[in-house]
Amino acid sequence: MMQYPDPIQPTIDVNDYLRLETQRVGSDTITWASGTDSAPSKPSSRFQLPKVGIAHRLYLDIDGGSATAFDLTIGAGASAVAANGQGPYGIIAGLALRVNGSSGWFDVSGFGTYLLNTAENASAFPQTAIGTIYTTAPTDVASTLFDYPVVDGRPRFGIEIPISVSATNPLGMLLLQNDQTTVELEVRWASLSNYAALTAGAVATLTLTLSVVLEYFDVPPRDAFVAFFLPLLRWGHWWVEERQDVAATGRDANIISLDNHDTYLRVLHTITLNSVLNTDAIEAVRFILNRQTYLYDHDDATQLRIQRTASGGKDLPAFLWDFFKTGTMRDVIHADAYTDIRSVVDVVAGATLGAAAFVRTAAEKLVDLGDPLAGNVAVPANSVQPRA
């Protein structure tokens, strides 16, 4: 095998065998009949990922397909954005990546997935980018990526499922090209009111087509695979979201206990009060280890300012503990070292909780899966050759 020295990074490592490729996985069309809160035509869409390469990322694009995909009959009524504050992303009730039938790998709501995409790095803009200028036909790039009509129009938006920990770090990648692993993407759909708020007699129909694209690394020759890739496959990259009711207002009334296993990279809290997404009613946050070590302890404004700085100027309607902002393991939480891990979100006294008050917590982890078995990996004869 011929080697070509890399003048920038002469030392051979896993990056010399990485080559990103994409493949269409499939598409599905979902409809919502005329109404204000009609159910989807099917509860979920399912896609089995092809047994090709090493999965890095999934791109999900949602497109109405026509100018009347959201078809409004307003009459004397009114139409507005979704009342829960989640924009079009709330129409996706949840996304699950099931590996050999298990849902532990990725299981997050549509809006939660959108938020973790925005927080992932400073250059990630799933919605409207800072400095958008191409907004007029025939170069209306912005509307191709995001359009959220609540009158007659063509909805267009997308989200991504990160399988590796980042665009530049393959840790956590998932081997598809072997007989022992099956991976299925499940997309669960919500009712129409999660897309738009229709009142006073207004009704609408909605049609959306979901297209899924897999981004993957080609499998290298066996010797390179065993040397560079196999050790990385020991680690799974998991995102799992859970819901907890808001118990009361005031200091320490809402403690989110986290599992003391694995390695935490990020923890994302979204708070719903009185059925609406709410950041204004949060007055302080804390992250506590073993009930006595206050790793972080500050007010809401400080937290939101930290998040704005880390995300390239974006204001996230959530509270994010980012232990992986450096892209290294310097600040991560090795949970096995603690008996008690908790995140605290203080709701200001007097806030209205209403009928629906809860915290959704999405936790990003690295999970030690144990030693992978090299003998179970089938390496094709036409595997990609190294670039260096």
Q: How confident is the model at residue 3 (pLDDT cuts 50, 70, 90)?
A: low
Q: Provide the whole-model pTM.
A: 0.91
pLDDT at 132 exceeding the cut of 60: yes
Looking at residue 282, its pLDDT comes to 98
Q: At 141, is the pLDDT very low, low, confident or very high (cuts 50, 70, 90)?
A: confident
pLDDT at 170: 86
Residue 312 corresponds to which amino acid?
Answer: G
Confidence of residue 101 (pLDDT cuts 50, 70, 90): confident
Pairing of strands 54-63, 174-175: antiparallel
Res. 228 pLDDT band, cuts 50 70 90? confident
CA–CA separation, 119 and 211 (whole Å): 23
pLDDT at 318: 96
Whole-number pLDDT of residue 168: 74
Instruction: In whole angstroms, give the CA distance from residue 374 to residue 238.
Output: 22
Computed over every residue of the chain, the mean pLDDT equals: 90
In the chain, what percentage of residues exceed pLDDT 90?
71
Between the CA of residue 203 and those of 69, 75, 91, 113, 209, what are the distances in Å? 13, 9, 16, 28, 21
Please, which pLDDT band fits residue 223 given cuts at 50, 70 and 90?
confident
pLDDT score, position 114: 95
All domains in the chain, ordered by first residue: 14-234 (2.70.9.30), 240-368 (2.60.120.730)
* Three-state DSSP string of the chain: CCCCCCCCCCCCCHHHHCCEEEEEEEEEEEEEEEECCCCECCCEEEEECCCCCEEEEEEEEEECCCCCCEEEECCCCEEEECCCCCHHHHHEEEEEEEECCEEEEEEECHHHHHHHHHHHCCCCCCCCCCCCCCCECCECHHHHHCECCCCCECCEEEEEEECCCECCECCCCEECCCCCCCEEEEEEECCHHHCEEEECCCEEEEEEEEEEEEEEECCCCHHHHHHHHCCHHHEEEEEEEEEEECCCCECCCCEEEECCCCEEEEEEEEEEECCEECCCCEEEEEEEECCCEEEEEEEHHHHHHHHHHHCCCCCCCCEEEECCCCCCCCCCEEHHHCCCEEEEEEECCCCCCCCCCEEEEEEEEEEECCCCCHHHCCCCCCCCCCCC
Token reading at 347: 């709701």
pLDDT at 130: 66
Among 144-148, 264-268, 286-290, the least confident range: 144-148
| Choice among 5-19, 160-174, 303-317 with the minimum mean pLDDT | 5-19
pLDDT band, residue 338 (cuts 50/70/90): very high
Residues 8-28 have a mean pLDDT of: 86
CA distances from 338 to 263, 286, 310, 334 (A): 11, 16, 27, 8
Question: Highest-confidence range of 22-36, 220-234, 316-330, by mean pLDDT?
Answer: 22-36
pLDDT higher than 90, residue 11:
no
Of the candidates 296, 300, 269, which has an alpha carbon nearest to the alpha carbon of residue 284?
A: 300
Confidence of residue 293 (pLDDT cuts 50, 70, 90): very high
Residue 382 has pLDDT above 80, yes or no: no
- pLDDT tens-place string over residues 65-83: 999 999 999 999 999 999 9
pLDDT of residue 386: 40
> Are the C-beta atoms of residues 366 and 265 closer than 8 Å to each other?
yes
d(CA 207, CA 221): 45
Query: Which one has a higher pLDDT value, 341 or 2?
Result: 341
What pLDDT is recorded for position 4? 61
| Exposed/middle/buried for residue 138 (C-beta within 10 Å: 0-12, 13-18, 19+) | exposed
- Taking a C-beta distance cutoff of 8 angstroms, is the pair 90, 182 a contact? no
Backbone angles phi, psi at 88, to 5 degrees: -70, -20
Is the per-residue pLDDT at 133 higher than 70? yes
Which of the four pLDDT bands, split at 50, 70 and 90, describes residue 136? Answer: confident
pLDDT tens digits for range 153-212 = 999 999 999 999 987 788 999 999 988 889 999 999 999 999 999 999 999 999 999 999
